[in-house]
Amino acid sequence: MSRSEFEYDICQRDCDGAWQVVAKLSSVRLGETSRENVKDNVSTDYMRWIVIFVGKSEKMCKDWVDRQWDSLVRMGIPYEVSH
């Protein structure tokens, strides 16, 4: 997955002016959906937009994304079972 394929955004919150990173992540990799249930076709992995970091500036958020890039990409890959 390349930087252009991973979906995330850095935006400023209206309530307090802080900056946040929101990303589209796998519910299985977040721990919301059981891997075993997905394997057994009881549940389906879904992608969810979630706030993953809040910083004081846009630059702080960009730096954080750069440092965490590999982990973020991994969490942004849908969980799939090969049959």
Dihedral over Cα of 32, 4, 11, 69: its sign: positive
**Residue 6: per-residue pLDDT:** 87
Write the CA distances from 20 to 17, 34, 50, 64, 76, integer angstroms: 10, 28, 10, 10, 17
**Residue 13: per-residue pLDDT:** 95
**Residue 5: per-residue pLDDT:** 81
Task: Say how far residue 62 (Cα) sits from the centre of its chain.
Answer: 15
pTM exceeding 0.75: yes
**Residue 4: per-residue pLDDT:** 62
Cα separation of 58 and 53, whole Å?
A: 11
Cα separation of 55 and 58, whole Å?
A: 7
pLDDT tens, residue order, the chain (83 aa)? 555 688 999 999 999 999 999 999 999 999 999 999 999 989 999 999 999 999 999 999 999 999 999 999 999 988 887 76
Joined together, the tokens standing for residue 75 give 């969490």
